[in-house]
Chain A
Amino acid sequence: MSQGVFVIFDQNQGQVRHVVLEVLTMARQLELGSVTTLTFGANASQTLKVLGEYGADQAIFWDQEPFTRYSSDGFADAIAHVVPHVNPAVILFPASAWGKDLSPRVADLIGAGLATDCLSLRVSTDNRVTAVRPIYAGKALAEVAIETPVQMFSIRPNIHKAIPDPKTPTVLDLAPVVSPDSFQSVVTERKEAQTGVQELTEADIIVSGGRGMKAPENFKLLDELATVLGAAVGSSRPVADEGWVPHSYHIGQTGKVVSPTVYFAVGISGAIQHLAGISGSKYIVAINNDAEAPIFKVANYGIVGDLFQVLPLLTEEIRALKANN
């Protein structure tokens, strides 16, 4: 019978995203048997140390050609070939752009069901797992079960805690099968965004500005607050559409769905599409001069006031607090 959990993820120069540690922790906590990992590309084996720290039992590294450049079809074919050898009950992917590109392709090749962007997993009976995932961008939650022998889930970043549990993983020498007609679609270049910009879906604190910011140059007030907080900067959609900030800042049902510990909504009214994208935030802090703005209905804390007065004061107050601690 298939058992154990197979965790498949990407790495860059031996570094993994935080979500990988979260997924490893979830994999262990399912207690379905051994946790086997698979990762790809140059320096993949340098992840061994961190995989051990987070409790992987076995690790597979495909660091050779042609796995040095991501190919959705090439990787998916090779994974589909290796799955029967690992024979897992559950396969987990991070629900990153990478994981969301690859996992459905793998799912269809092996005829497995896949639940996208899961918040939590729970073992029911006999190695069967149920998952809770947001739908309608979090306006509802769906509890689902996968009906196929192999059960696949992609895991939303920033939800589950990463907890170490050191082990010494065995490196498995499972050579990939590369079919000659795969590796058709190949990544040829990667362009990093400006350095120092935190990814919103992984950020612990987000300060986000809306139309109330009035003009693009005023976003420097938010940048200053973000700097003292170590936060990422986001925005409502109109502000990104206007080009005040890059498209990648846009949060909401048709932008990024975020789940930080604290979300500062500054000059954002709280339209339903925006709220859908921030409902996973632990604390929402609203700053708005309209006491009737819908954002206050979902906020934990709110200041009714002019953001141009409030923001500089807030930045100073937090700077002072940090200096004293």
Chain B
Amino acid sequence: MKVLVMVKQVPDTATNIQIRSDGQGIIEDGIKWVINPYDEFAIEEALRIREKLGGEIVVIALGPKRVDEAIRQALAMGADRAVVVESSETLDLAQVAHALARVAQNEGFDLILTGKQAVDDDSAQIGPMVAARLSLPQVSIVIHLDIDVEHKRLRAERELEGATEIVELPYPAVLTAQRGLNEPRYPTLPNIMKAKKKEVKRVSFESLGIDTLPRIRLIQLTPPSERPEPTILTADPVETVKTLVELLHEQAKVI
């Protein structure tokens, strides 16, 4: 099995997001960048597939220079090599999806894995768009995967609201990973050392010949509305509970 894993680098989830004064982005100074948490499940799943079935894992990422760090971590987890699409400009979702699809096409593959969404823009579009672009079937929000190599088919369980469903499909295909699919491993020291020698191929976004125009325009970013001053009750439990229920009933009128 040759598995491609599409990885995005995002601000650590502990980041306190601050908006630039022009409203066109966030202040990046001091941000710690990490692999998108859902992409880690995708990497881990690829590793488990290789352990079981053999083959190769290629990590694909897109972004500015700092993305190298995410790539190194994915390689340290155990991926074999990487392709980085270099772009210092902010690209539109469709441009990103089409660039990643082009790289995938050039590489060849049995399976493409990525996270169910990136925790920065929360768009949850790249997986299905790459699948559409490559005319491949997809399953998103996957929490369990079985592979039938003989018939080249997949059986995936995906999470819905209050239910799960089983999806059956042939591969090549695109899957997006949800928490619960597996428990991602930590890189070991020997693997971190090995990762330094692994191949990282660099291609420029321009060289891929993507002529897709931006489809979404950011007008501005704003902070969420401030929460009102809290009413904090500290007396004995019987009193505080009575007061709380009164406030919820009479002031907030929610119970």
A304 touches B232 (CB 8 A): yes
Q: Which residue of A is nearest B168, CB measured?
A: A188
A104 touches B232 (CB 8 A): no
Known pairs A116-B125, A303-B240; A186 contacts B168 (CB<8 A): yes
Residues on A with C-beta less than 8 A from B16 are: 139, 272
Q: Of B127, B224, B248, which is within 8 A of A285 by CB?
A: B248
Residue B97 at the A interface, CB < 8 A? yes
A191 touches B163 (CB 8 A): yes
B224 touches A302 (CB 8 A): no
Residue B162 at the A interface, CB < 8 A? yes
Known pairs A104-B128, A117-B122, A301-B248; A140 contacts B159 (CB<8 A): no
Residues on B with C-beta less than 8 A from A136 are: 11, 15, 17, 26, 119-120, 122
Q: Which residue of B is nearest A148, CB measured?
A: B215
A140 touches B221 (CB 8 A): yes
B21 CB to nearest A CB, Å: 14
A313 touches B219 (CB 8 A): no
- In Å, the complex CA distance between A135 and B224 comes to 10
Known pairs A136-B120, A314-B245; A146 contacts B215 (CB<8 A): yes
- In Å, the complex CA distance between A255 and B37 comes to 11
B244 touches A301 (CB 8 A): yes
Residue A262 at the B interface, CB < 8 A? yes
Known pairs A108-B97, A272-B13, A285-B244; A262 contacts B254 (CB<8 A): yes
A-contact bits for B113-148, CB 8 A (1 contact / 0 none): 000000111111111110111001111110100000
Known pairs A140-B17, A143-B222; A253 contacts B216 (CB<8 A): no
Residues on A with C-beta less than 8 A from B121 are: 135, 142
A141 touches B237 (CB 8 A): no
A279 CB to nearest B CB, Å: 6
* Interface residues on chain B, size class: 35 or more
Residues on A with C-beta less than 8 A from B169 are: 184-186
A104 touches B132 (CB 8 A): yes
A194 CB to nearest B CB, Å: 9
Residue B76 at the A interface, CB < 8 A? no
Residues on A with C-beta less than 8 A from B238 are: 313
* Interface residues on chain A, size class: 35 or more
- In Å, the complex CA distance between A125 and B170 comes to 45
Q: Which residue of B is nearest A287, CB measured?
A: B244
B91 CB to nearest A CB, Å: 13
A301 touches B247 (CB 8 A): yes
Residues on A with C-beta less than 8 A from B161 are: 17, 96-97, 199, 201-202
Residues on A with C-beta less than 8 A from B222 are: 140-141, 143
- In Å, the complex CA distance between A244 and B255 comes to 28
Known pairs A188-B166, A300-B228, A301-B248; A283 contacts B237 (CB<8 A): no
Residue A164 at the B interface, CB < 8 A? no
- In Å, the complex CA distance between A157 and B101 comes to 31
Q: Of A105, A137, A300, A304, which is within 8 A of B252 by CB?
A: A300
Residues on A with C-beta less than 8 A from B162 are: 192-193, 197-199, 248
Q: Which residue of A is nearest B10, CB measured?
A: A136
Residues facing A in B200-255 (CB within 8 A) are 213-224, 227-228, 230-234, 237-238, 240-242, 244-245, 247-249, 252, 254-255
Residues on B with C-beta less than 8 A from A139 are: 15-17, 224
B-contact bits for A6-32, CB 8 A (1 contact / 0 none): 000000000001000000000000000
Residues on B with C-beta less than 8 A from A305 are: 234, 237, 240
Residue B167 at the A interface, CB < 8 A? yes
- In Å, the complex CA distance between A298 and B242 comes to 22
A98 touches B125 (CB 8 A): no
Among A115, A139, A205, A302, residue most surrounded by chain B Cβ atoms (within 10 Å): A139
A247 touches B180 (CB 8 A): yes
Residue B72 at the A interface, CB < 8 A? no
Residue B173 at the A interface, CB < 8 A? yes
B97 CB to nearest A CB, Å: 7
A262 touches B248 (CB 8 A): yes
Q: Which residue of B is nearest A142, CB measured?
A: B221
B182 CB to nearest A CB, Å: 12
Q: Of B19, B126, B228, B234, which is within 8 A of A140 by CB?
A: B19
Residue B89 at the A interface, CB < 8 A? no
State the B residues within 8 Å of A (CB): 11, 13-17, 19, 26, 37-38, 92-94, 97, 119-129, 131-133, 136-141, 143, 158-170, 173, 179-180, 213-224, 227-228, 230-234, 237-238, 240-242, 244-245, 247-249, 252, 254-255
A-B contact pairs, 20 of them (CB 8 A): A101-B138, A102-B128, A107-B94, A113-B216, A134-B224, A135-B120, A135-B121, A136-B15, A139-B17, A139-B224, A143-B219, A197-B162, A199-B161, A247-B143, A254-B13, A262-B252, A272-B14, A273-B14, A301-B247, A304-B234
13 further A-B pairs in the complex, CB-CB below 8 A; given A147-B213, A188-B166: A73-B137, A101-B158, A105-B128, A107-B129, A108-B133, A116-B125, A134-B224, A141-B222, A185-B168, A192-B163, A254-B13, A271-B14, A282-B254
